[in-house]
Amino acid sequence: MAATIIDGKAIAQSIRQELKKDVAELKRNGVTPGLAVILVGEDPASQTYVRNKDKACAEVGIHSEIYRYPAHLSEAELLAKVEELNQDNNIHGILVQLPLPAHISEDKVIDAISPEKDVDGFHPVNVGKMAIGKEAFYSCTPFGIIKMLERENISLEGKHAVVIGRSNIVGKPAALLALKESATVTVCHSRTKDLSAFTRQADIVIAAVGKAKFLKAEDLKPGAVVIDVGMNRDENGKLCGDVDFESAKQVAGAITPVPGGVGPMTITMLLFNTVQSVKQKAAMANSK
């Protein structure tokens, strides 16, 4: 039986519709959610991401401010801008687009963002809260994966989830969130020996490898749920994921396409986190 194709674009769209209503309600109560995005340098991929974030904010009614700086901006200047935004009452989310130029410490910059405004979920306070199963801002791509599975009524409970990749942005948080959902979790990475032996046992595979069409049908258990986080170009320059979609869909039970799978969910969860940040601030003010 052919796999169910999980339509990330449609799921993202329906969540954005809900967020639009939430934002309208917040505005009626006198608060406009605000997101500040900082971009340092001219990396073309980063510029595209930032433009898309800006567009997505406008779509749901979130106020967004983009700060573009030349690559030679000093670390101190960047830290000062982050501090200013931490203090700005109109800003509920701060995102510093990565990667940063080599002379700026990403760790220092992430540490400087107020955890209450860290809508990327990169601050050690948010990562720590996630690790102990508490509410926090979760990294947008893995959070989007969990939401997508939820919307598709695919439960993780008791399932064997195999995550391929151990980055701080995707692999590690995906493993922690899958664990929070009561999956049995295996984390594989570039040094894993006999990777296929693990993936063939997986009920759910989350592939964040960064290699075009890396995972094939023969690496999958029949009926597995396959989540493809990859964004690669194939031999013809066409956008493709980490999974060989055409072969994998013959074996998988459900699979996300690239494009149109995980991708649209990532920015959606950034919007979600920004709206959440406003709600949390209001809840804190009410409890004082």
Q: Which residues bind ligand GUN (CB under 6 A)?
A: 95-98, 120, 140, 169
The residue behind tokens 């989830």 is 161
Q: Which residues contact 68 (CB under 8 A, 6 or more apart)?
A: 39
Tokens (6 digits) for 68 = 């573009």
Q: How far, rounded to the nearest angstrom, does the alpha carbon of residue 155 sit from its chain's CA centroid? A: 19
Closer by beta carbon to ligand GUN, 169 or else 224? 169
Closest alpha carbon to 220 in 230, 234, 206: 206
25, 51, 94, 230, 231 from 239: Cα distances, Å: 38, 19, 29, 9, 7
Tokens (6 digits) for 23 = 């934002």
Query: Is 244 marked active-site?
Result: no
Bond from prior residue into 173 cis (ω within 30 degrees of 0) = no
Query: Is 53 marked active-site?
Result: yes
Catalytic residue among 7, 22, 81, 97: 97
Closer by beta carbon to ligand GUN, 96 or else 161? 96
Torsion of CA 96, 101, 104, 105, to 10 degrees: 70
Query: Is 193 marked active-site?
Result: no
The nearest distance, CB 37 to ligand GUN, in angstroms, is 8
The nearest distance, CB 44 to ligand GUN, in angstroms, is 13
Give the residue closest to ligand GUN by C-beta.
98
- 230 in the Ramachandran plot: left (φ > 0), alpha (ψ -120 to 50) or beta? beta
The nearest distance, CB 232 to ligand GUN, in angstroms, is 14
Tokens (6 digits) for 234 = 């194939």
Catalytic residue among 7, 120, 228, 242: 120
The nearest distance, CB 159 to ligand GUN, in angstroms, is 26
Helix ranges restricted to H, the chain: 8-28, 44-60, 75-87, 106-112, 124-131, 140-151, 171-180, 195-199, 245-248, 262-287
Closer by beta carbon to ligand GUN, 79 or else 217? 79
Closer by beta carbon to ligand GUN, 95 or else 130? 95
Catalytic residue among 22, 53, 147, 219: 53
- Helix or strand or coil: residue 154? coil
The nearest distance, CB 175 to ligand GUN, in angstroms, is 17
Closer by beta carbon to ligand GUN, 125 or else 217? 125
The nearest distance, CB 270 to ligand GUN, in angstroms, is 8
Q: Say how many residues make up the chain.
A: 288
Bond from prior residue into 259 cis (ω within 30 degrees of 0) = yes
Closer by beta carbon to ligand GUN, 98 or else 154? 98
- As annotated, the active-site residues are 53, 97, 120
